[in-house]
Amino acid sequence: MPVVVLFGVILAWSLISYLNLFPAYAFPSPGSVVMSFREEIVAGRLLNDIVASLWRVAVGFVISVLLGVPLGLWLGQHLKARQAFVPMLNFFRFLSPLAWIPFAILWFHIGDKPAVFLIFMATFFPLALATLVAVATIPSIYFRVAQDYHYKGMELLTKVTFPAVLPQIITALRVSYGIAWVVIVAAEMVGCQDGLGYGIWEARNGLRLDSAVCYMIVIGLLGMGIDRLLAQLTKLPGIRWGYER
Amino acid sequence: MKDRSLTSGLKLENVSHSYGNVAVLKDLNIVVKPNEIVVLVGPSGCGKTTILNLLSGHIEPVSGAITRAGIIRTVYQQDGLFPWLTVAENISMGLRSANNGATHGSELVELIELIRLEGFENHYPHELSGGMRQRVELARVLAGDSDILLMDEPFSALDYQSRLRMRHELIRLLTKRPRTVVFVTHDIEEAAQLADRVLVLSNRPATICRELEIKAQKPRKLSDVSVISAMEEILHELGLDTPEDNNLQRMSI
């Protein structure tokens, strides 16, 4: 069925383009996009932009996970700290990461850093919040059992608390990765000299919307592909339980 | 192997407990002898689970003293297994004190054989039936050095046939690995089949309104005279012996 839908979309696209409902420069045909793909691949620009974007998302996202998940684990276990920090975390979560663009450029100038910073700002707060909510709602019976079998301190954290919330953390990873992938395009439109977002911006400046569409297709496919990879984590033996009840 | 007849036992002396202004237990005195199965029955909400929480040490009484001798473990109604661990890993939690790897391995194999779940070692709890999960819980609490088992309606989430099977299973396991047991249930049949001694609790604030010793050999059939007469006595004590008849009589008057 997805293949049928795909063909339907391409058919509608071809039809609109064939009927010239919009001027060719504003509505590139499938054929011109294919040509543009070839051009970008031969020139090596597309591959370079893919690597640049993936690198920035990976760095920003990994920093977010390394800081956000432990913070969420800690806040989830400490009611007072949670009550103190949650309003602030929520405030920043609702702040569009794009609002940070002027700061990102002023603080980090151009290159990878502003984009990495924006990815971090976009993903850190939802990840920390999702983790703390998951920890705060762990069924109390797990902690009683842990007490019966003398799990304490670090062992309690690594062998009970963390595995108990791992399925929810993975769901949070998928959601925040989705945000990161959306934000990288906007982040690279300013302050970067390469990357998929920059590619679209360049195409727009040169009025080459066929090239922009080619980049949009790559962004969509890469986003789906990486989400598929993250989804594989839900099938791991010690995690699957969280998705089967 | 340690001699549990010397090391295990539980004692509640004049224990009272309340939640805020609600008095739950009043001057309760219970002594549980080593390797004895004491079953607590009583009306819903009378404080049976509170007694288990006091015995396990999860809560402290408002007044009175509790003596606990031995390692205590609890079997919960359901979901007591860690879902991210396999059957073997869950049971191994009970063997954490066994430092020797070889002992640990052989004990684990023996426990899995004991609960007849060979071949399911690497299964996760969500892949098992309710009865199988409770058998794994039993293996986990029986593992290693445990002395006292607190059982909080452990079979109540199972269907009737599984409950009947699990009662026999528990008796079989306890014959092989004797433990001191405090078993809370609302199921009169279960109490009469399992108990050495049944303590019938009153409404809140709970006191012991009847102590019933059942000396008949185990395993007991539901049709055994001792089981039937124990059930009748417990029902009578709870005021549930022939409620419909009484109501009908009242209505006809």
The pLDDT profile of chain B, 253 residues, written as one tens digit per residue, is 455 555 678 899 999 999 988 888 988 999 999 999 999 998 888 888 899 999 998 899 999 999 888 889 999 887 899 999 999 999 999 888 766 667 788 889 988 988 888 899 999 999 999 889 998 998 999 888 789 999 999 888 888 888 888 899 889 888 888 899 999 998 999 999 999 999 999 888 888 888 999 988 888 998 899 999 999 999 888 888 765 555 555 444 4
Nearest partner of B148 among B181, B186, B116, B99, judged by Cα = B181
pLDDT of residue A207: 86
Nearest partner of B78 among B149, B142, B132, B144, judged by Cα = B132
Which residue segments constitute the domains of chain A, with CATH numbers given? 32-239 (1.10.3720.10)
In degrees and rounded to multiples of 5, residue B53 shows phi and psi of -65, -35
pLDDT of residue B252: 43
Answer whether B64 touches A (CB < 8 Å).
no
Task: Give the residue ranges of DSSP H helices in chain A.
Answer: 2-18, 30-43, 45-77, 79-94, 101-108, 112-136, 140-148, 153-156, 162-189, 196-205, 209-233
The CA distance from B24 to A108, in Å, is 64
Is residue A185 classed as helix, strand or coil in its secondary structure?
Answer: helix
Q: pLDDT exceeding 90 applies to what percent of chain A?
A: 63
| Residue A239 pLDDT > 70 | yes
The dihedral formed by the CA atoms of A181, A184, A189 and A192, expressed in degrees to the nearest 10: -140
Chain B window 83-102: which residues touch A at a Cβ cutoff of 8 Å? Answer: 83-86, 93-94, 96
Task: Give every CB contact of residue B251 below 8 A, 6+ residues apart in sequence.
Answer: none
Mean pLDDT over A16-21 rounds to 86
| Residue A48 pLDDT > 90 | yes
Instruction: Copy the structure tokens of residue B238.
Output: 């709870």
| Residue A60 pLDDT > 90 | yes
Residue of A nearest to B95 (CA): A149
Contact A53, A118 (CB under 8 A): no
CA distance B83 to chain A (A): 6
pLDDT band at A109 (very low <50, low <70, confident <90, very high): confident
pLDDT of residue B104: 81
DSSP character string of B77-108: SS--S-TTS-HHHHHHHTTTT---HHHHHHHH
Query: Which chain B residues are within 8 Å of A242, Cβ to Cβ?
Result: 83
pLDDT band at A58 (very low <50, low <70, confident <90, very high): very high
Angle in degrees, CA B33, B34, B35, rounded to 5: 115
Answer whether B70 touches A (CB < 8 Å).
no
DSSP character string of B38-61: EEEE-STTSSHHHHHHHHHTSS--
Strand-pairing partners, residue B75, are: B151
Contact B24, B52 (CB under 8 A): no
Exposure class string for A112-124: b at 16+ Cβ within 10 A, else e: bbbbbbbbbbbbb
Exposure class string for A2-18: b at 16+ Cβ within 10 A, else e: eeeeeeeeeeebeeebe
pLDDT of residue B2: 54
Mean pLDDT over A125-136 rounds to 94
Chain A window 41-80: which residues touch B at a Cβ cutoff of 8 Å? Answer: none
Instruction: Copy the structure tokens of residue B103.
Output: 């002992």
- Cross-chain residue pair B126–A245, CB shorter than 8 Å: yes
| Residue A120 pLDDT > 90 | yes
CA distance B112 to chain A (A): 19
Answer whether A241 touches B (CB < 8 Å).
yes
Strand-pairing partners, residue A111, are: none
The one-letter amino acid code at A84 reads A
pLDDT band at A24 (very low <50, low <70, confident <90, very high): confident
| Residue A210 pLDDT > 70 | yes
Mean pLDDT over A141-156 rounds to 92
- Cross-chain residue pair A148–B76, CB shorter than 8 Å: no
pLDDT band at A135 (very low <50, low <70, confident <90, very high): very high
- Cross-chain residue pair B74–A163, CB shorter than 8 Å: no
Q: Report pTM.
A: 0.83
Cα torsion angle, A26, A28, A29, A30, sign: negative
Nearest partner of A40 among A192, A193, A184, A203, judged by Cα = A203
Is residue B248 classed as helix, strand or coil in its secondary structure?
Answer: helix
* A23 C-beta neighbours (distance < 10 Å), count: 7
| Residue A185 pLDDT > 50 | yes
Exposure class string for B240-251: b at 16+ Cβ within 10 A, else e: eeeeeeeeeeee
pLDDT of residue A245: 60
Exposure class string for B2-18: b at 16+ Cβ within 10 A, else e: eebeeebbbbbeebbbb
Contact B124, B99 (CB under 8 A): no
The CA distance from A118 to A195, in Å, is 14
